[in-house]
Amino acid sequence: MVEGLDWESNTNTTDNSCKTAHCDCLTFWEIQQQEAMMRVSNLKDKGKNLYKLEPGYEARARRIASVYANIYLEKEKYGNKNLIGRYYWMGLGAFASKTVAAIFKHGLTAWGYKWIPIISPFVLSPMVRDPVHSFAKGNLWLFMDIAPWHYAWSMSSASFDQCKTKRSVSKFTHIKEEVLNVPWSSCLPIIKNLQSTPEIKKAFGLLPKIEAVFKRKGKTRKQNFADSKDNLFKHLLAIAVQEQRNILQELVWKEWKVQAQATVQSFTGLPDSTLVLSSDYLVDSVKPIRKSKSMLPSSYNIKNMEREYQGRHAGILGKLPETVYSEPLATTKVANYDSRMEWIQKAAEKYHRLMLSDKGRVFLEKELIIIAGWGSSKAHFTVGKDSNDGKI
């Protein structure tokens, strides 16, 4: 029985056993969808294989970031350590979902579902709470869309190509009820029931070329990234369009309350939406410090002032080719797709340049390893019943 955020699925529970089975394309996609659902759920009853979706918005965004990081690092099922980096968007996606988690943690955002609703002359609760739920919806269903595509390719690129046009939640049979019980599943018709799109076909159509370069013998990772740089970036941008236009624009940014909140945020800067390409929540953790000239020795080169760092990144960030954060452009209107994509393009270009540098790539991948460890994140408070589309 499926109830609230609970969902059940039958798996093989016999240890050290396996069974050969042939499945059709629809079952192939249901397997991938179930994998995604399990990653953001907690096992309630091992004997019954009963799972319950993690209800905390921040915790769930951290788990999603973890999945993205693990897919990039080839640590998910069927990953290939010789191909680390082929899933190029996933690295950037991990940092983006981490940014979403940081926003959910922010005190103002917490009014959205952590604290008791308040209506007052100073706080119009629905204007704060509803956009938070919308962002949680977008974060969750973007994950439900993009992770299974990657799981499928890793399992079998041949099956992916054979079955890519057959994916549709509306045609599911084994786990359809469970998928429909996920919060905001009513949005599925809006995002075409997670069917294939031109962007998905383009992004995954580039992978054979990328993989062929990465599989070469006797080449360094720097050479592989350099020789694949154009295809890697095209792959990233194709998925960025899938993410921003086909999913988030439809599920989040078209809502007027989200647009109104975005306007307020553009003036207040709260919460901070800077994309930080590290596991840190706060941009100050990766920003260079400024020293007063009076504190510097006479021999100090003033040009180096912008590259002084403190904390765990001291002695590291200053050696990278550029900073590891990307603030919205002065002209960015985040609710507008074209305007938002201008900023995302700039952020992607920074990520790309860092990845093409040995020092930059080592830094980014070390940070992704940290994020990859967030897969068991849980909310440490009671999540209100008015959250998660009421499915709690």
DSSP annotation string for 155-191: H-HHHHHHHGGG--GGG--SSHHHHHTSTTGGGTTTT
Give 19-33 pLDDT, tens digit per residue.
Answer: 445 679 999 999 999
At a CB cut-off of 8 Å and minimum separation 6, what does 205 contact?
A: none
Q: What pLDDT is recorded for position 337?
A: 95
Q: What pLDDT score was predicted for residue 216? A: 95
pLDDT greater than 60 at residue 165: yes
The predicted model scores a pTM of 0.88
Q: Is 273 in contact with 334 (CB distance < 8 Å)? A: yes
What does the mean pLDDT of the chain come to?
86
12 close to 131: Cβ distance less than 8 angstroms: no
Q: 368 near 72, Cβ under 8 Å?
A: yes
Note the pLDDT tens digit of each residue in 286-318: 998 865 444 545 544 444 444 688 899 999 999
Q: In this predicted model, what pLDDT tens digit does every residue of 66-83 receive, in sequence order?
A: 999 999 999 999 999 999
Confidence of residue 122 (pLDDT cuts 50, 70, 90): very low
Residue 285 has pLDDT above 50, yes or no: yes
Task: Give the pLDDT confidence of 55-65 residue by residue, as tens digits.
Answer: 999 999 999 99
HSE toward the beta carbon, residue 125, CA cutoff 13 A: 11
* 171/21: higher pLDDT: 171
Which of 10, 102, 127, 24 shows the shortest CA–CA distance to 374?
102
**How confident is the model at residue 291, as a pLDDT?**
55
Of 54-63, 172-181, 235-244, 270-279, which range is least confident? 270-279
**Percent of the chain topping pLDDT 70:** 82
